[in-house]
Amino acid sequence: MVGVDISQQFHVARAVNYRGIVVGDPLTFENNEEGFNRFLEWINKLKGKNSLDTTIVGMEPTGHYWIDLSKWLPNEKIDIVTVNPHLVKKIKKIEITLSPK
């Protein structure tokens, strides 16, 4: 699973395996085709290095900045899911509450 933090010019991606363990370093990439191709290369390297065979990309539908990436990924045979921003906010509150002090 790859989570992408969407913004106007640059997106930031972070990958986790099926157990929720972070794999690899985060990637910052531009919101254009060149950046999308860097993102795809990053995904494929992580898949090879960690013996993973499927990819799902999750993102918050922030403004209209997510649309180009969400249309580009299926052409590369990558499934996408959009995540409700209100749920993300609630999860962050729960994580802060449960984190050890």
Residue 93's pLDDT is what? 59
Residue 97's pLDDT is what? 58
Instruction: Tell which residue, 23, 71, 67, has the closest CA to residue 45.
Output: 23
Residue 62's pLDDT is what? 78
How high is the mean pLDDT in each 10-residue block of the chain (101 residues)? 93 92 94 97 95 92 92 96 74 58 57
pTM: 0.84
In CATH, what class is 2-98? alpha beta
Q: Which residue has the tokens 């790859």?
A: 2
